[in-house]
């Protein structure tokens, strides 16, 4: 029997508590609409009493979103419950989330209240909220560091006062899986009226255990899970909802529970939240990181090419990613290389593949990632064999100073094997180099794009320059790698020139016609 777990998304409330994140009205609305599309059951849209902006955002979201229930947070303070009511009453089935801390540390030092005063306050605010809202959720802030018998006492009373969801947050991300299972089990077994309420889990990631702890709480009977998209939130963040939803799906055999998520909306939701909050998703982030479906090493790539399940437990399509990705680099093997060559339209012999594979490995030692363009260049050179002649850089000298005109002197061999030398000036060193190369080649070349990046870290990093040029009505890109940026710039330019020449012989648009 598979249990349905309600998803309570707090990207717009706890997620907005991420240091540096500040969503405006339109951004909150855009995210809320996407959360609805994702299939979130409850959207916590903000804290209506916190500011006029948050009040308006919660109100508009409550007016707009109909497929998910919309809620707002409030302290155990009557005027905040009033503010929440004003913002949320426009929604269908208005819902409030009231909280107060229950741990000895919070009660004594922050609230400066006795446990009995906390009970009195919680009961009063839940009653007050229930007189307005048809749905009331109550949270015992810092529940996971609270005394269990005190929790049992207060929960029984707030359920009697009208709370229908009881949330037991791990506010500071402190709990372990075994302990959270114990808390949920203890509450279920000892609160006499617990059947009238749904238990909810809300975990923080301070020890990197938010997802694991949320799943453990589900195992112990939580019927609602709270978290944020991409795991953003206060301090180290909240449990990442996409991880929980996918874990429940993939390990359904174990958890026997599922969310109502339209899972293939996950990637789109994650990208939207990342873009609007400015919180970049790490490449290695579970489920939605750029590398989650990328395979880098030869043994893995070979396995995936033969049978994807060898190294993929989640299909990319499940979460809305179009396909997996083979990253060609120095750790790649012949199988992945051959597959890439074939996917680019080449019908190469084993002998050719073996030859070009050696070149590929040489290049991969210098570059982090080998692109389709690189493979194209390697294959073009292989197919052209000796017949295509090209320009080669022999020497490069650049004179630059703050008070003189940058001048480059270059020696190159041309396609006929002749050695040519020229010098030219420019407004900067790179322009001087490109003007000199243009003179040697004797053609007008248009530089359409120039980009530079380092391919490794540290002071001795290799510079990689990418250029795009046009001459003789043909375009090509070129890359050059060297320890020095000026040499890399020259090599990229010459590489692009050679590609234009190669393309004239082996037109790229006819790539599939290149057969042995
Ligand atoms: C675990 C969580 O994530 S809880 C949610 C956290 N989110 C936020 O705090 C964002 C919105 N917060 C705000 O805009 C403001 O903090 C407000 C409007 C709520 C309150 O602002 P202020 O009145 O200036 O109080 P301030 O934030 O400085 O201090 C909090 C006060 O609330 C009290 N308090 C904290 N939690 C609660 C609660 N659940 N119920 C009642 N009082 C509470 C504190 O004890 C403190 O009281 P004191 O002033 O008597 O010492
Ligand atoms: C208000 C509660 C649910 C909270 O955000 C927390 O305890 O982390």
Write out pLDDT tens, residues 269-278. 999 999 999 9
Give the chain's radius of gyration (CA, Å): 31
pLDDT of residue 483: 77
Q: How far is the CA of 235 from the centre of ligand 1 (A)?
A: 17
Average pLDDT over residues 12-26: 93
Ligand nearest to the CA of 139: 2
Q: Which atom of ligand 1 is nearest to the CA of 76?
A: 40
| Binding-site residue set for Mn(2+) | 14, 202, 204, 238
For the chain, the structural domain boundaries read 3-277, 294-387, 392-512
pLDDT at residue 514, as a whole number: 29
Ramachandran region of residue 497, left (φ > 0), alpha (ψ -120 to 50) or beta? alpha
Could you tell me the CATH superfamily of domain 3-277? Aldolase class I (3.20.20.70)
pLDDT in tens, 254-268: 999 999 999 999 999
pLDDT at 472 over 90: no
Give, using CA atoms, the residue closest to atom 46 of ligand 1.
Answer: 111
Taking CA atoms only, the protein residue closest to ligand 2 atom 2 is: 141
| Closest ligand 2 atom to 141 CA | 7
Task: Give the pLDDT score at 370.
Answer: 83
Fold of the 392-512 domain: Double Stranded RNA Binding Domain (3.30.160)
**Mean of pLDDT values over 2-23:** 96
Kindly report the protein residue whose alpha carbon is nearest to atom 24 of ligand 1: 50
Ligand nearest to the CA of 173: 2
344 vs 309, residue with greater confidence:
309
**pLDDT in the model for residue 387:** 42
Is 419 or 322 the better-scoring residue by pLDDT? 419
Q: Cβ < 6 Å from ligand 1: which residues? A: 14, 17, 47, 49-50, 75-77, 99-100, 110-111, 141, 171, 234
Which residue lies with its CA nearest to atom 5 of ligand 2?
14
Q: Could you give the angle at which helices 372-384 and 485-505 cross, rounded to 10 degrees?
A: 60
Q: What is the pLDDT of residues 479-502, one digit of tens each?
A: 787 778 999 999 999 988 988 887
**Residue 452's beta-bridge partner residues?**
465
Q: Which is more confidently placed, 389 or 425?
A: 425
Q: What pLDDT does residue 366 have?
A: 73
Q: What is the DSSP string of 146-175?
A: S-HHHHHHHHHHHHHHT-SEEEEEETTS--
Q: What is the mean pLDDT of the chain?
A: 91
- Beta strands per DSSP E along 30-68: 42-46
pLDDT tens readout for residues 50-74: 999 999 999 999 999 999 999 999 9
Percent of the chain having pLDDT more than 70?
Answer: 94
pLDDT of the residue at 504: 66
Q: Among 125, 169, 201, which residue has the most ligand 2 atoms within 8 Å of its CB, making it the best to mutate? A: 169
**217 neighbors 201 (Cβ within 8 angstroms):** yes
Tell the residue number behind the tokens 């070129």, with chain if given: 478
Compute the distance between CA of residue 147 and CA of residue 225 in angstroms, rounded to an integer.
22
Enter the pTM of the model: 0.77
Pocket lining: 200 vs ligand 2, CB cutoff 6 Å: no
Q: What is the DSSP letter of 238?
A: B
Q: How far apart are CA 445 and CA 422, in angstroms?
A: 16
Q: Is 235 helix (H, G, I), strand (E, B) or coil?
A: coil
Report how far residue 224's alpha carbon sits from residue 201's, in angstroms, rounded to the nearest whole number.
6
Ligand nearest to the CA of 44: 2
Q: Is 442 left (phi over 0), alpha (psi -120 to 50) or beta?
A: left
More confident residue, 10 or 324: 10
Which residue's CA is the nearest one to ligand 1's atom 50?
111
Give the residue, out of 171, 201, 232, with the most ligand 2 atoms within 8 A of its beta carbon, to mutate for a pocket test: 171
CA of 75 to the centre of ligand 1 (A): 7
Is residue 345's pLDDT more than 80?
no
Known binding-site positions: 14, 202, 204, 238
User: Does residue 515 have a pLDDT over 80?
Assistant: no
Q: Which CATH architecture has domain 294-387?
A: Orthogonal Bundle (1.10)
Atom of ligand 2 nearest to the CA of 139: 3
- When mean pLDDT is compared across 221-225, 436-440, 468-472, 476-480, the lowest value belongs to 476-480
How much is the average pLDDT of 209-237? 98
Which ligand lies nearest to the CA atom of residue 121 in the structure? 1
Output b/e per residue, 209-221; b: 16+ Cβ within 10 A. bbbbbbbbbbbbb
386 pLDDT tier (thresholds 50, 70, 90): very low
Q: What pLDDT sits at residue 148?
A: 98
Candidate of 42, 138, 167 to mutate for ligand 2, largest count of ligand atoms within 8 Å of Cβ = 167
Do the domains 3-277 and 294-387 sit in the same CATH topology, yes or no? no
Alpha helices in 191-318 (DSSP H): 210-219, 241-250, 252-255, 266-277, 298-306
Question: Sheet containing 419-425: which strands, arranged edge to edge?
Answer: 392-401, 404-413, 419-425
Local confidence band at 381 (pLDDT 50, 70, 90 cut-offs): low
Long-range contacts of 80-83 (CB under 8 A, 24+ apart): 80/48, 80/49, 81/125, 81/128, 81/129, 81/132, 83/48, 83/49, 83/55
What is the rounded distance in angstroms from the CA atom of residue 418 to the CA atom of residue 494?
A: 16
- Structure-model confidence comparison of residues 516 and 501, the more confident one: 501
- pLDDT over 50 at 412, yes or no: yes
- Among 8, 10, 12, 50, which is best to mutate for testing ligand 1, by the most ligand atoms less than 8 A from CB? 50
Q: Is 99 in the pocket of ligand 2 (CB under 6 A)?
A: yes
Q: Please state the rounded mean pLDDT for residues 97-126.
A: 98
Task: Give all strands of the β-sheet with 474-482 in edge-to-edge order.
Answer: 446-454, 463-471, 474-482
Provide the token pair at 387.
């017949």
Tell whether ligand 2 has an atom less than 6 A from the beta carbon of residue 171: yes
Contacts of 393 (CB under 8 A, 6+ apart): 410, 411, 412, 487, 490, 491, 494
């Amino acid at each position: 029997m598979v249990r349905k777990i309600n998803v309570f998304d707090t990207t717009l409330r706890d997620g907005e508590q991420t240091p540096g994140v500040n969503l405006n009205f339109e951004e909150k609305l855009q995210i809320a609409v996407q959360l609805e599309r994702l299939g979130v059951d409850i959207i916590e849209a903000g804290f209506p009493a916190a500011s006029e902006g948050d009040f308006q955002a919660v109100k508009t979201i409550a007016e707009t979103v109909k497929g998910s229930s919309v809620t707002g947070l409030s302290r155990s303070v009557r005027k905040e419950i009033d503010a929440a009511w004003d913002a949320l009453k426009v929604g269908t089935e208005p819902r409030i989330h009231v909280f107060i801390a229950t741990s000895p540390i919070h009660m004594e030092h922050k609230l400066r209240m006795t446990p009995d005063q906390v009970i009195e306050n919680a009961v009063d605010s839940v009653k007050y909220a229930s007189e307005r809202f048809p749905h009331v959720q109550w949270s015992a802030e810092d529940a996971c560091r609270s005394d269990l018998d005190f929790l049992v006492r207060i929960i029984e009373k707030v359920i009697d006062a009208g709370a229908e969801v009881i949330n037991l947050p791990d506010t500071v991300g402190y709990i372990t899986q075994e302990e959270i299972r114990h808390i949920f089990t203890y509450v279920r077994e000892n609160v006499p009226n617990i059947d009238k309420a749904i238990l909810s889990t809300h975990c923080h990631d301070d020890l990197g255990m938010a997802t694991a702890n949320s799943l453990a709480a589900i195992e112990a009977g939580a019927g609602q899970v709270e978290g944020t998209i991409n795991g953003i939130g206060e301090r180290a963040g909240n449990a990442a909802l996409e991880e929980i939803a996918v874990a429940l799906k993939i390990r359904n055999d174990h958890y026997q529970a599922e969310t109502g998520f339209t899972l293939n909306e996950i990637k789109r939701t994650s990208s939207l939240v990342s873009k609007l909050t400015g919180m970049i998703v790490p490449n290695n982030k579970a489920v939605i990181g750029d590398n989650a479906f990328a395979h880098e090493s030869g043994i893995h790539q070979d396995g995936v090419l033969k049978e994807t399940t060898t190294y993929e437990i989640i299909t990319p399509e499940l979460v809305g990613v179009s396909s997996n990705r083979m990253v060609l680099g120095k750790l790649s093997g012949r199988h992945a290389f051959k597959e890439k060559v074939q996917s680019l339209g080449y019908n190469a012999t084993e002998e050719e593949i073996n030859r070009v594979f050696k070149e590929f490995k040489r290049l991969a030692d210098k570059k982090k990632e080998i692109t389709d363009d690189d493979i194209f260049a390697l294959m073009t050179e292989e197919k052209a064999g000796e017949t295509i002649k090209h320009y080669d850089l022999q020497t490069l000298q650049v004179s630059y100073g703050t008070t003189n005109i940058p001048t480059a002197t270059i020696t190159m061999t041309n396609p006929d094997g002749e050695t040519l030398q020229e010098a030219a000036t420019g407004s900067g060193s790179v322009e001087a180099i490109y003007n000199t190369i243009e003179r040697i080649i004797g053609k007008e070349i248009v530089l359409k794009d120039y980009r530079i990046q380092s391919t490794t870290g540290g002071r001795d990093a290799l510079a990689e320059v990418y250029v795009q040029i046009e001459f003789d009505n043909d375009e090509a890109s070129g890359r050059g790698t060297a320890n020095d940026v000026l040499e890399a710039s020259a090599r990229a330019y010459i590489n692009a020139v050679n590609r234009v020449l190669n393309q004239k012989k082996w037109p790229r648009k006819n790539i599939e016609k290149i057969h042995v």
